[in-house]
Amino acid sequence: MLFDSPAYFVFLIPVVLLYWRLNCRAKNIFLLLASYFFYGWWDWRFLALMIGSTTMDFLIAQKITPDRCDANRRKWLIFSLVLNFSILGTFKYFNFFVDSFSTALNTLGIHNLPLSLIRIILPPGISFYTFQEVAYIVDVYKGRLAPAKSFIEYGLFVSLFPHLIAGPIQKPGHLLPQVQRNRVFDADRFFDGLMLIFSGLVRKCVVADNCALLANAAFSGQFGKPNFWVVLLGTYAFAWQVYGDFSGYSDIARGSAQLMGFHFMVNFRQPYLSRRLQDFWRRWHISLSTWLRDYLYIPLGGSAGGNWKTSRNLVMTMILAGLWHGAAWTFVIFGAIHGLVLAIERLFWPVKMKAADGAQPKPYAGLLSGWGERILTFNVFCLSLAFFRAPSLNLARQFLSGLSNLAWRSEYASAFFMLAIFAIPLFVVDLLMEASNEEYPFANASYAVRTALATVSLVVLALFSGSNLNAFVYFRF
């Protein structure tokens, strides 16, 4: 049930209509059942796994609150963390380790072992709901949040369908209190939710799906052997594909939640306007980057302990972030590139804090302007995406080896023109949102203006939607 499919809206519309006819407790029960139905639509076999882990963490949370003088509090916390990460590791990384072991045996001359027959199916959304459960357990243990008294409320916090499959990862202190209190219909917020859905559909179906056609052609060799221009086209197209794809998904998720009175955190804030990779990760997939900061980077030691330890913690955090995205060595390299660049930035170009202006990055030795810094940061990100997109390290190496070949072909011009047609409008929207600091384009405009824009969005969707065969990129994580 993809967010850009008719099936999703056939599901969403009656759910929203019935939801607002119920009282508070009935709303939560109804939404929990609807969310389990939504998850079961993907694969009903994994419902028991999600419900089981939800039940376990609900019960453990009652035992680890700071006001309990229980010597086993820490043991229960460790048990929950080990259980959650073991489930995630088994389902997400078992095949990765089997394949790596098989490759190592082949290198040693041991062939024909039937390891390829051993495979485990990845449950939908397991990376997202596991991180949300871990955040809840840690926050309860540290006294940041009172444990939920109702399984219905906690179960809905974990499985609320707009964020269930691909996030955004919701902070327990942000979403759980919303689940626990009554939601009252607000026409303005409902209208904002509809606008977010329209915005997300345009980002996904128009920008991402059309850029995907170019990225797939470049990475699959349809433009010929990789050269400088093919690498540039492929990585730039994929950069706008993955941005339009996941920011579009996040907007649809946030809009769907807002139709039912919930507020989800903003997950993207114009990341391609970042002047540093440090700033980029404050703007890109914000729900994941804040989770990594709060529950991984800081527990590892954060920026305490000197430059070497800070650099080590950054690299470790980003390598694990890469592995979170997928069980492949390409994702390890993707994370390592980001970790190393973040460490270098912090050592040589630290961010200076000013009370009036916020974070102010130190210029790159005065050599680049603000836009020069943005272009450099964007290209570093695109370089890392070559590993993110390629199915193997060898294919990524072959693709990037074309950078030394500057041969030009006439068909490249039309391909770059097509990329510009779909990327530049989203870039202009980002410039407008950066200036206005709004949660979606023209959020403060009149109802008439926004209704007109929604109508234009429907026309654009009808005329310019790309291939409907491209599932959301982050659904596989």
Q: Just list the catalytic residues.
A: 325
With contact defined as beta carbons under 8 Å apart, do 153 and 180 qualify? yes
Q: What is the distance between the alpha carbons of residues 84 and 129, in angstroms, rounded to a whole number?
A: 10
Query: Token match 């199915």: residue?
Result: 391
Q: What is the distance between the alpha carbons of residues 423 and 433, in angstroms, rounded to a whole number?
A: 15
3-state secondary structure (DSSP) of residue 225: coil
With contact defined as beta carbons under 8 Å apart, do 433 and 441 qualify? yes
Separation in Å, CA 231 to CA 148, 214, 237, 424:
50, 11, 10, 19
Q: In the structure, how many helices (H) and strands (E) does the chain have?
A: 20, 2
**Nearest partner of 252 among 188, 195, 179, judged by Cα:** 195
Q: What is the distance between the alpha carbons of residues 262 and 257, in angstroms, rounded to a whole number?
A: 5
Q: What is the distance between the alpha carbons of residues 28 and 275, in angstroms, rounded to a whole number?
A: 43
Query: Is there a cis peptide before residue 162, judged by omega within 30 degrees of 0?
Result: no
3-state secondary structure (DSSP) of residue 366: coil
Q: Where are the beta strands (DSSP E) in 181-321?
A: none
Query: Token match 């969707």: residue?
Result: 461
CB atoms within 10 A of CB 321: 22
Strand partners, 351: 361
Q: What is the distance between the alpha carbons of residues 179 and 70, in angstroms, rounded to a whole number?
A: 29
**Nearest partner of 166 among 3, 29, 22, 6, judged by Cα:** 3
With contact defined as beta carbons under 8 Å apart, do 204 and 250 qualify? no
HEC secondary structure over 347-359: HHCCEEEECCCEE
Q: What DSSP string runs through 50-105? A: HHHHHHHHHHHHTT--TTS--TTHHHHHHHHHHHHHHHHHHHHHHHHHHHHHHHHH
Cβ partners under 8 Å of residue 176, min gap 6: 136, 145, 148, 153, 154, 157
Residue 452 tokens read as: 């007109």
